[in-house]
Chains A and B, each alone.
Chain A
Amino acid sequence: MESRLIEILGSGCAKCEMLAAHAEEAAKELGLDYAVIKVKDPSAWARYGVMMTPALVVDGQLKLQGRVLSAEKLKELLALA
Protein backbone atom coordinates (compact mmCIF):
# COMPACT_ATOMS: atom_id res chain seq x y z
CA MET A 1 0.00 0.00 0.00
CA GLU A 2 1.32 3.43 -0.90
CA SER A 3 1.67 5.88 1.94
CA ARG A 4 1.01 9.61 2.05
CA LEU A 5 1.58 12.27 4.64
CA ILE A 6 -1.27 14.75 4.27
CA GLU A 7 -0.84 18.12 5.96
CA ILE A 8 -3.70 20.61 6.20
CA LEU A 9 -2.40 24.14 6.77
CA GLY A 10 -4.89 26.44 8.42
CA SER A 11 -6.10 28.01 11.61
CA GLY A 12 -8.84 25.45 12.21
CA CYS A 13 -11.51 27.43 10.34
CA ALA A 14 -14.60 25.77 8.86
CA LYS A 15 -13.01 25.55 5.41
CA CYS A 16 -9.87 23.93 6.85
CA GLU A 17 -11.98 21.24 8.52
CA MET A 18 -13.85 20.67 5.28
CA LEU A 19 -10.62 20.30 3.30
CA ALA A 20 -9.27 17.86 5.91
CA ALA A 21 -12.45 15.77 5.73
CA HIS A 22 -12.41 15.70 1.91
CA ALA A 23 -8.73 14.77 1.81
CA GLU A 24 -9.30 11.95 4.26
CA GLU A 25 -12.23 10.67 2.22
CA ALA A 26 -10.16 10.80 -0.97
CA ALA A 27 -7.24 8.97 0.66
CA LYS A 28 -9.58 6.24 1.92
CA GLU A 29 -11.14 5.77 -1.51
CA LEU A 30 -7.71 5.48 -3.09
CA GLY A 31 -6.83 2.85 -0.50
CA LEU A 32 -3.76 4.77 0.66
CA ASP A 33 -1.92 4.32 3.90
CA TYR A 34 -2.18 7.89 5.11
CA ALA A 35 -1.89 10.23 8.05
CA VAL A 36 -3.60 13.64 8.26
CA ILE A 37 -1.86 16.34 10.28
CA LYS A 38 -3.35 19.78 10.93
CA VAL A 39 -0.64 22.43 10.91
CA LYS A 40 -1.72 25.52 12.82
CA ASP A 41 1.62 27.30 13.15
CA PRO A 42 1.84 30.31 10.77
CA SER A 43 5.63 30.15 10.48
CA ALA A 44 5.26 26.59 9.17
CA TRP A 45 2.81 27.90 6.53
CA ALA A 46 5.42 30.47 5.52
CA ARG A 47 8.01 27.75 4.92
CA TYR A 48 5.74 26.31 2.23
CA GLY A 49 5.15 29.75 0.76
CA VAL A 50 1.46 29.62 1.61
CA MET A 51 -0.45 32.92 1.63
CA MET A 52 -3.98 31.57 1.56
CA THR A 53 -5.43 29.03 3.94
CA PRO A 54 -6.55 26.33 3.92
CA ALA A 55 -3.69 24.69 2.05
CA LEU A 56 -2.91 21.09 1.26
CA VAL A 57 0.59 19.65 1.46
CA VAL A 58 1.20 16.06 0.41
CA ASP A 59 4.51 14.42 1.33
CA GLY A 60 6.10 17.82 1.83
CA GLN A 61 4.85 19.26 -1.48
CA LEU A 62 2.35 22.12 -1.66
CA LYS A 63 -0.59 20.96 -3.77
CA LEU A 64 -3.33 23.48 -3.20
CA GLN A 65 -3.98 26.73 -1.37
CA GLY A 66 -6.97 28.91 -0.61
CA ARG A 67 -9.47 26.42 -2.02
CA VAL A 68 -11.55 23.53 -0.87
CA LEU A 69 -11.93 20.85 -3.52
CA SER A 70 -14.28 17.87 -3.50
CA ALA A 71 -12.91 14.48 -2.48
CA GLU A 72 -13.24 13.42 -6.12
CA LYS A 73 -10.90 16.18 -7.33
CA LEU A 74 -8.53 15.75 -4.42
CA LYS A 75 -7.98 12.15 -5.51
CA GLU A 76 -6.01 13.39 -8.51
CA LEU A 77 -3.72 15.43 -6.28
CA LEU A 78 -3.21 12.61 -3.83
CA ALA A 79 -2.63 9.99 -6.53
CA LEU A 80 -0.01 12.10 -8.33
CA ALA A 81 2.12 12.77 -5.26
Chain B
Amino acid sequence: MTTDWKTGRKPQLIILLALIAAAAWWFVYRSLEPFASWFAFGLLGLSSGSRLGAAVAFFVFEAPKVLMLLGVVVFGVGIVRSFFTPERTRSILAGRRESAGNVLAALLGVVTPFCSCSAVPLFIGFVTTGVPLGVTFSFLISAPMVNEIALVLLFGLFGWKVAALYAGTGLVIAIVAGWIIGRLKLERWVESWVYQSGFGGAAAGAEAPLTWGDRTELGREAVRDIVGKVWPYVLAGIAAGAAIHGYVPQDFMASIMGRGAWWSVPLAVLIGVPMYSNAAGIIPIVQALLEKGAALGTVLAFMMSVIGLSLPETIILRKVLRPPLIATFVGVVAAGILVVGYVFNLVL
Protein backbone atom coordinates (compact mmCIF):
# COMPACT_ATOMS: atom_id res chain seq x y z
CA MET B 1 0.00 0.00 0.00
CA THR B 2 1.68 3.21 -1.10
CA THR B 3 -0.03 6.47 -0.38
CA ASP B 4 2.42 9.26 -0.99
CA TRP B 5 0.28 12.31 -0.54
CA LYS B 6 3.09 14.50 0.67
CA THR B 7 6.10 13.53 -1.36
CA GLY B 8 5.73 16.70 -3.44
CA ARG B 9 7.22 18.79 -0.62
CA LYS B 10 10.88 19.08 0.26
CA PRO B 11 11.90 17.77 3.69
CA GLN B 12 13.68 21.05 4.57
CA LEU B 13 10.47 22.95 3.98
CA ILE B 14 8.51 20.53 6.16
CA ILE B 15 11.03 20.90 8.99
CA LEU B 16 10.91 24.69 8.72
CA LEU B 17 7.11 24.71 8.78
CA ALA B 18 7.14 22.36 11.77
CA LEU B 19 9.52 24.69 13.67
CA ILE B 20 7.38 27.73 12.93
CA ALA B 21 4.24 25.85 14.02
CA ALA B 22 5.95 24.71 17.24
CA ALA B 23 7.08 28.27 18.06
CA ALA B 24 3.60 29.66 17.40
CA TRP B 25 2.07 26.92 19.57
CA TRP B 26 4.44 27.70 22.44
CA PHE B 27 3.76 31.44 22.19
CA VAL B 28 -0.02 30.97 22.28
CA TYR B 29 0.26 28.41 25.09
CA ARG B 30 2.33 30.79 27.23
CA SER B 31 -0.13 33.61 26.60
CA LEU B 32 -3.17 31.70 27.81
CA GLU B 33 -2.88 32.53 31.49
CA PRO B 34 -2.45 36.30 31.11
CA PHE B 35 -5.16 36.24 28.46
CA ALA B 36 -7.60 34.46 30.80
CA SER B 37 -6.99 36.99 33.61
CA TRP B 38 -7.39 39.86 31.20
CA PHE B 39 -10.56 38.35 29.76
CA ALA B 40 -12.23 37.69 33.11
CA PHE B 41 -11.09 40.65 35.15
CA GLY B 42 -10.33 43.25 32.47
CA LEU B 43 -12.73 42.73 29.61
CA LEU B 44 -15.68 41.36 31.61
CA GLY B 45 -14.82 43.48 34.63
CA LEU B 46 -15.36 40.66 37.15
CA SER B 47 -13.83 41.05 40.57
CA SER B 48 -10.77 38.82 41.06
CA GLY B 49 -12.01 37.72 44.47
CA SER B 50 -15.48 36.74 43.31
CA ARG B 51 -16.71 33.20 42.76
CA LEU B 52 -17.90 33.94 39.24
CA GLY B 53 -14.59 35.63 38.39
CA ALA B 54 -12.61 32.61 39.64
CA ALA B 55 -14.83 30.21 37.69
CA VAL B 56 -14.63 32.21 34.43
CA ALA B 57 -10.87 32.71 34.64
CA PHE B 58 -10.45 28.99 35.38
CA PHE B 59 -12.48 27.97 32.34
CA VAL B 60 -10.93 30.45 29.90
CA PHE B 61 -7.45 29.29 30.95
CA GLU B 62 -7.99 25.53 31.29
CA ALA B 63 -10.16 24.84 28.23
CA PRO B 64 -7.75 26.06 25.52
CA LYS B 65 -4.77 24.81 27.54
CA VAL B 66 -6.04 21.24 27.74
CA LEU B 67 -7.21 21.22 24.12
CA MET B 68 -3.82 22.52 22.93
CA LEU B 69 -1.95 19.91 24.98
CA LEU B 70 -4.28 17.22 23.75
CA GLY B 71 -3.80 18.23 20.13
CA VAL B 72 -0.01 18.21 20.34
CA VAL B 73 0.24 14.96 22.29
CA VAL B 74 -2.29 13.10 20.17
CA PHE B 75 -0.41 14.22 17.05
CA GLY B 76 2.91 13.11 18.52
CA VAL B 77 1.49 9.81 19.72
CA GLY B 78 -0.07 9.26 16.29
CA ILE B 79 3.40 9.55 14.74
CA VAL B 80 5.04 7.36 17.40
CA ARG B 81 2.35 4.75 16.89
CA SER B 82 3.03 4.60 13.18
CA PHE B 83 6.27 2.84 14.17
CA PHE B 84 4.50 0.33 16.40
CA THR B 85 1.91 -1.55 14.42
CA PRO B 86 0.12 -4.40 16.19
CA GLU B 87 1.83 -6.62 13.62
CA ARG B 88 5.28 -5.58 14.81
CA THR B 89 4.29 -5.79 18.48
CA ARG B 90 2.98 -9.28 17.86
CA SER B 91 6.21 -10.43 16.28
CA ILE B 92 8.24 -8.88 19.13
CA LEU B 93 6.15 -10.69 21.72
CA ALA B 94 5.77 -14.03 19.93
CA GLY B 95 7.61 -16.79 21.75
CA ARG B 96 8.72 -14.49 24.61
CA ARG B 97 9.15 -16.01 28.01
CA GLU B 98 6.88 -14.78 30.72
CA SER B 99 8.14 -12.09 33.15
CA ALA B 100 10.26 -10.22 30.60
CA GLY B 101 7.42 -10.80 28.15
CA ASN B 102 4.91 -9.27 30.56
CA VAL B 103 7.04 -6.16 31.05
CA LEU B 104 7.56 -5.73 27.32
CA ALA B 105 3.88 -6.32 26.57
CA ALA B 106 2.76 -3.72 29.12
CA LEU B 107 5.18 -1.15 27.67
CA LEU B 108 4.19 -1.92 24.09
CA GLY B 109 0.56 -1.61 25.15
CA VAL B 110 1.18 2.09 25.73
CA VAL B 111 2.62 2.84 22.29
CA THR B 112 0.78 0.39 20.03
CA PRO B 113 -2.41 1.72 18.46
CA PHE B 114 -5.34 0.09 20.22
CA CYS B 115 -9.07 0.43 20.38
CA SER B 116 -11.14 -1.84 22.58
CA CYS B 117 -13.26 -2.61 19.51
CA SER B 118 -10.18 -4.42 18.11
CA ALA B 119 -9.56 -6.44 21.27
CA VAL B 120 -10.90 -9.64 19.69
CA PRO B 121 -8.81 -9.74 16.48
CA LEU B 122 -5.78 -8.64 18.46
CA PHE B 123 -6.28 -11.38 21.03
CA ILE B 124 -6.60 -14.01 18.27
CA GLY B 125 -3.58 -12.68 16.43
CA PHE B 126 -1.47 -12.80 19.60
CA VAL B 127 -2.38 -16.18 21.08
CA THR B 128 -2.42 -18.09 17.79
CA THR B 129 1.09 -16.99 16.88
CA GLY B 130 2.85 -17.94 20.08
CA VAL B 131 2.37 -14.97 22.42
CA PRO B 132 1.70 -16.55 25.85
CA LEU B 133 -1.77 -15.93 27.31
CA GLY B 134 -0.49 -13.97 30.32
CA VAL B 135 1.70 -11.77 28.13
CA THR B 136 -1.30 -11.08 25.89
CA PHE B 137 -3.24 -9.99 28.96
CA SER B 138 -0.47 -7.64 30.08
CA PHE B 139 -0.91 -5.93 26.73
CA LEU B 140 -4.70 -5.91 26.90
CA ILE B 141 -4.65 -4.37 30.37
CA SER B 142 -2.08 -1.65 29.79
CA ALA B 143 -3.34 -0.56 26.34
CA PRO B 144 -6.64 1.00 27.43
CA MET B 145 -5.55 1.97 30.96
CA VAL B 146 -2.32 3.83 30.22
CA ASN B 147 -3.41 5.98 27.29
CA GLU B 148 -2.29 9.33 25.99
CA ILE B 149 -5.53 11.17 26.71
CA ALA B 150 -5.48 10.14 30.37
CA LEU B 151 -1.83 11.14 30.69
CA VAL B 152 -2.26 14.52 29.00
CA LEU B 153 -5.27 15.45 31.05
CA LEU B 154 -3.64 14.33 34.30
CA PHE B 155 -0.50 16.26 33.39
CA GLY B 156 -2.44 19.37 32.34
CA LEU B 157 -4.67 19.46 35.40
CA PHE B 158 -2.52 18.02 38.20
CA GLY B 159 1.07 18.17 37.01
CA TRP B 160 3.60 15.56 36.00
CA LYS B 161 3.78 13.76 39.35
CA VAL B 162 0.21 12.55 39.27
CA ALA B 163 0.53 11.66 35.57
CA ALA B 164 3.72 9.67 36.26
CA LEU B 165 2.13 7.92 39.25
CA TYR B 166 -0.81 6.93 37.14
CA ALA B 167 1.33 5.62 34.28
CA GLY B 168 3.72 3.79 36.62
CA THR B 169 1.07 2.06 38.69
CA GLY B 170 -0.97 1.26 35.56
CA LEU B 171 2.07 -0.49 34.08
CA VAL B 172 2.76 -2.41 37.29
CA ILE B 173 -0.84 -3.64 37.45
CA ALA B 174 -0.70 -4.74 33.80
CA ILE B 175 2.60 -6.58 34.34
CA VAL B 176 1.64 -8.31 37.58
CA ALA B 177 -1.95 -9.15 36.61
CA GLY B 178 -0.78 -10.61 33.27
CA TRP B 179 1.91 -12.62 35.03
CA ILE B 180 -0.61 -14.03 37.52
CA ILE B 181 -3.04 -14.95 34.74
CA GLY B 182 -0.16 -16.70 32.96
CA ARG B 183 0.77 -18.66 36.13
CA LEU B 184 -2.83 -19.83 36.57
CA LYS B 185 -2.67 -21.73 33.23
CA LEU B 186 -6.11 -20.72 32.04
CA GLU B 187 -5.69 -21.63 28.36
CA ARG B 188 -8.52 -24.15 28.64
CA TRP B 189 -10.92 -21.26 29.17
CA VAL B 190 -10.12 -19.66 25.87
CA GLU B 191 -12.80 -20.59 23.32
CA SER B 192 -11.44 -23.64 21.50
CA TRP B 193 -11.99 -22.26 17.98
CA VAL B 194 -9.53 -19.45 18.71
CA TYR B 195 -6.47 -21.74 18.77
CA GLN B 196 -7.73 -23.54 15.67
CA SER B 197 -8.06 -20.44 13.53
CA GLY B 198 -5.16 -19.99 11.13
CA PHE B 199 -3.57 -16.57 11.33
CA GLY B 200 -2.41 -15.20 7.98
CA GLY B 201 0.26 -12.90 9.33
CA ALA B 202 2.14 -12.62 6.06
CA ALA B 203 -0.56 -10.55 4.38
CA ALA B 204 -0.30 -7.72 6.87
CA GLY B 205 3.48 -7.58 6.68
CA ALA B 206 3.37 -7.02 2.94
CA GLU B 207 2.61 -3.30 3.24
CA ALA B 208 5.12 -0.85 1.86
CA PRO B 209 7.20 1.09 4.42
CA LEU B 210 5.68 4.41 5.44
CA THR B 211 7.20 7.73 4.44
CA TRP B 212 7.40 10.70 6.82
CA GLY B 213 4.54 12.20 4.85
CA ASP B 214 2.43 9.15 5.69
CA ARG B 215 3.37 9.37 9.35
CA THR B 216 2.41 13.06 9.64
CA GLU B 217 -0.83 12.18 7.89
CA LEU B 218 -1.43 9.46 10.51
CA GLY B 219 -0.75 11.99 13.26
CA ARG B 220 -3.25 14.40 11.76
CA GLU B 221 -5.76 11.61 11.35
CA ALA B 222 -5.37 10.81 15.05
CA VAL B 223 -5.99 14.46 15.98
CA ARG B 224 -9.10 14.65 13.79
CA ASP B 225 -10.31 11.34 15.09
CA ILE B 226 -9.59 11.69 18.81
CA VAL B 227 -9.71 15.41 19.52
CA GLY B 228 -12.71 15.68 17.18
CA LYS B 229 -14.48 13.12 19.30
CA VAL B 230 -13.54 14.10 22.84
CA TRP B 231 -13.56 17.91 22.80
CA PRO B 232 -17.18 18.25 23.96
CA TYR B 233 -16.40 16.03 26.98
CA VAL B 234 -13.31 18.05 27.74
CA LEU B 235 -15.21 21.33 27.60
CA ALA B 236 -18.15 19.99 29.62
CA GLY B 237 -15.75 18.55 32.17
CA ILE B 238 -13.76 21.75 32.51
CA ALA B 239 -16.98 23.76 32.80
CA ALA B 240 -18.08 21.45 35.63
CA GLY B 241 -14.60 21.78 37.12
CA ALA B 242 -14.83 25.57 36.89
CA ALA B 243 -18.19 25.61 38.66
CA ILE B 244 -16.88 23.34 41.41
CA HIS B 245 -13.70 25.40 41.64
CA GLY B 246 -15.74 28.53 42.27
CA TYR B 247 -18.76 27.30 44.21
CA VAL B 248 -18.45 23.96 46.03
CA PRO B 249 -17.12 24.24 49.59
CA GLN B 250 -13.61 23.00 50.28
CA ASP B 251 -13.27 19.52 51.83
CA PHE B 252 -16.77 18.62 50.77
CA MET B 253 -15.59 15.13 49.71
CA ALA B 254 -13.13 14.61 52.54
CA SER B 255 -15.46 12.66 54.82
CA ILE B 256 -16.81 10.44 52.02
CA MET B 257 -13.71 9.79 49.93
CA GLY B 258 -10.96 10.97 52.24
CA ARG B 259 -8.11 8.88 53.57
CA GLY B 260 -9.89 8.12 56.78
CA ALA B 261 -12.68 6.23 55.06
CA TRP B 262 -11.14 2.76 54.52
CA TRP B 263 -14.13 1.48 52.60
CA SER B 264 -13.91 4.25 50.01
CA VAL B 265 -11.29 2.43 47.87
CA PRO B 266 -13.29 -0.80 47.34
CA LEU B 267 -16.40 1.29 46.84
CA ALA B 268 -14.64 3.39 44.18
CA VAL B 269 -13.55 0.22 42.35
CA LEU B 270 -16.99 -1.36 42.67
CA ILE B 271 -18.65 1.70 41.17
CA GLY B 272 -15.91 2.21 38.59
CA VAL B 273 -15.66 -1.26 37.03
CA PRO B 274 -19.09 -1.46 35.39
CA MET B 275 -18.90 2.22 34.40
CA TYR B 276 -17.60 3.01 31.00
CA SER B 277 -16.26 6.35 29.93
CA ASN B 278 -13.29 7.58 27.97
CA ALA B 279 -10.53 9.34 29.85
CA ALA B 280 -11.73 12.73 28.68
CA GLY B 281 -15.08 12.24 30.34
CA ILE B 282 -13.79 10.89 33.62
CA ILE B 283 -10.90 13.21 34.42
CA PRO B 284 -12.97 16.33 35.08
CA ILE B 285 -14.89 14.28 37.67
CA VAL B 286 -11.57 13.17 39.11
CA GLN B 287 -10.45 16.77 39.31
CA ALA B 288 -13.61 17.83 41.09
CA LEU B 289 -13.30 14.98 43.61
CA LEU B 290 -9.64 15.72 44.32
CA GLU B 291 -10.07 19.43 44.74
CA LYS B 292 -12.78 18.94 47.30
CA GLY B 293 -10.76 16.69 49.57
CA ALA B 294 -11.00 13.15 48.16
CA ALA B 295 -7.81 11.10 48.68
CA LEU B 296 -5.54 10.63 45.66
CA GLY B 297 -5.38 6.83 45.97
CA THR B 298 -9.15 6.53 46.05
CA VAL B 299 -9.52 8.79 43.03
CA LEU B 300 -6.79 7.00 41.03
CA ALA B 301 -8.46 3.67 41.81
CA PHE B 302 -11.78 5.02 40.60
CA MET B 303 -10.24 6.35 37.41
CA MET B 304 -8.32 3.16 36.66
CA SER B 305 -11.34 0.95 37.14
CA VAL B 306 -13.44 3.13 34.86
CA ILE B 307 -10.88 3.34 32.04
CA GLY B 308 -9.10 0.01 32.46
CA LEU B 309 -12.03 -2.28 33.03
CA SER B 310 -15.40 -1.86 31.44
CA LEU B 311 -18.55 -3.82 30.87
CA PRO B 312 -18.57 -3.30 27.07
CA GLU B 313 -15.00 -4.58 26.79
CA THR B 314 -15.71 -7.73 28.78
CA ILE B 315 -18.77 -8.35 26.61
CA ILE B 316 -16.58 -8.01 23.51
CA LEU B 317 -13.99 -10.38 24.99
CA ARG B 318 -16.71 -12.94 25.73
CA LYS B 319 -16.43 -13.89 22.04
CA VAL B 320 -13.01 -15.41 22.68
CA LEU B 321 -12.95 -16.06 26.44
CA ARG B 322 -15.13 -18.29 28.58
CA PRO B 323 -16.79 -16.71 31.65
CA PRO B 324 -14.35 -18.12 34.26
CA LEU B 325 -11.41 -16.50 32.44
CA ILE B 326 -13.25 -13.19 32.12
CA ALA B 327 -14.07 -13.31 35.83
CA THR B 328 -10.43 -14.06 36.67
CA PHE B 329 -9.23 -11.23 34.46
CA VAL B 330 -11.60 -8.69 36.02
CA GLY B 331 -10.91 -10.01 39.52
CA VAL B 332 -7.11 -9.88 39.23
CA VAL B 333 -7.08 -6.39 37.71
CA ALA B 334 -9.60 -5.06 40.21
CA ALA B 335 -7.51 -6.49 43.06
CA GLY B 336 -4.44 -4.73 41.63
CA ILE B 337 -6.29 -1.43 41.45
CA LEU B 338 -7.47 -1.90 45.02
CA VAL B 339 -3.89 -2.38 46.23
CA VAL B 340 -2.74 0.72 44.33
CA GLY B 341 -5.53 2.76 45.90
CA TYR B 342 -4.63 1.69 49.43
CA VAL B 343 -0.90 2.08 48.93
CA PHE B 344 -1.28 5.66 47.70
CA ASN B 345 -3.64 6.60 50.47
CA LEU B 346 -1.11 5.25 52.98
CA VAL B 347 2.03 6.68 51.43
CA LEU B 348 0.99 10.09 50.19
The B interface is mostly helix, strand or loop, or mixed, namely: helix
With A13-B117, A42-B124, A64-B1 given, is the CB distance from A49 to B199 under 8 Å?
yes
A23 in the interface (beta carbon within 8 A): no
Interface size range on B against A: 20 to 34
B308 in the interface (beta carbon within 8 A): no
Q: Is the CB of A46 within 8 A of B197?
A: yes
Q: Choose one: B120, B200, B316; the contact of A47 (CB below 8 Å).
A: B200
Q: Which residues of A contact B144 (CB under 8 A)?
A: none
Q: Choose one: A10, A49, A64, A73; the contact of B125 (CB below 8 Å).
A: A49
B249 in the interface (beta carbon within 8 A): no
B347 in the interface (beta carbon within 8 A): no
Q: Is the CB of B204 within 8 A of A49?
A: yes
Q: Is the CB of A66 within 8 A of B203?
A: no
**Bitwise interface map of A from 50 to 79 toward B, beta carbon under 8 Å scored 1, else 0:** 111100000001111111000001001100
Q: Whole-angstrom distance from the CB of B129 to the nearest CB of chain A?
A: 9
B219 in the interface (beta carbon within 8 A): no
Closest to A64 in B: B1
A15 in the interface (beta carbon within 8 A): yes
Q: Is the CB of A61 within 8 A of B203?
A: yes
B121 in the interface (beta carbon within 8 A): yes
A34 in the interface (beta carbon within 8 A): no
Q: Choose one: B124, B204, B320; the contact of A65 (CB below 8 Å).
A: B204
Q: Which residues of B contact A73 (CB under 8 A)?
A: 3, 5
Closest to A16 in B: B117
Q: Is the CB of B121 within 8 A of A62?
A: no
Complex CA gap A56/B198 in Å reads 19
**Bitwise interface map of B from 68 to 100 toward A, beta carbon under 8 Å scored 1, else 0:** 000000000000000000110010000000000
Complex CA gap A73/B87 in Å reads 23
Closest to A52 in B: B118
Complex CA gap A12/B27 in Å reads 44
Q: Choose one: A45, A67, A76; the contact of B121 (CB below 8 Å).
A: A45
Q: Whole-angstrom distance from the CB of A63 to the nearest CB of chain B?
A: 6
Q: Which residues of B contact A77 (CB under 8 A)?
A: 1
Interface size range on A against B: 20 to 34
Q: Is the CB of A11 within 8 A of B197?
A: no
Q: Is the CB of B319 within 8 A of A62?
A: no
B128 in the interface (beta carbon within 8 A): yes
Q: Is the CB of B3 within 8 A of A53?
A: no
With A51-B204, A62-B204 given, is the CB distance from A46 to B199 under 8 Å?
yes
Q: Whole-angstrom distance from the CB of B225 to the nearest CB of chain A?
A: 8
B313 in the interface (beta carbon within 8 A): no
Closest to B118 in A: A52
B115 in the interface (beta carbon within 8 A): yes
Which residue, of B121, B122, B198, B221, has the highest number of chain A Cβ atoms within 10 A? B121
Complex CA gap A4/B113 in Å reads 29
B331 in the interface (beta carbon within 8 A): no
Q: Which residues of A contact B86 (CB under 8 A)?
A: 51-52, 66
Q: Is the CB of B1 within 8 A of A46?
A: no
Q: Which residues of B contact A45 (CB under 8 A)?
A: 121, 124
Complex CA gap A66/B221 in Å reads 12
Q: Whole-angstrom distance from the CB of B228 to the nearest CB of chain A?
A: 12
Q: Is the CB of A46 within 8 A of B124?
A: yes
15 interchain pairs (CB within 8 A)? A42-B120, A42-B121, A42-B319, A43-B124, A43-B193, A46-B125, A46-B128, A46-B200, A47-B197, A47-B199, A49-B87, A53-B118, A64-B1, A66-B115, A77-B1
Q: Which residues of B contact A (CB under 8 A)?
A: 1, 3, 5, 86-87, 90, 113, 115, 117-118, 120-122, 124-126, 128, 193-194, 196-206, 221, 316, 319-320
Q: Which residues of A contact B (CB under 8 A)?
A: 10-11, 13, 15, 42-43, 45-53, 61-67, 73, 76-77
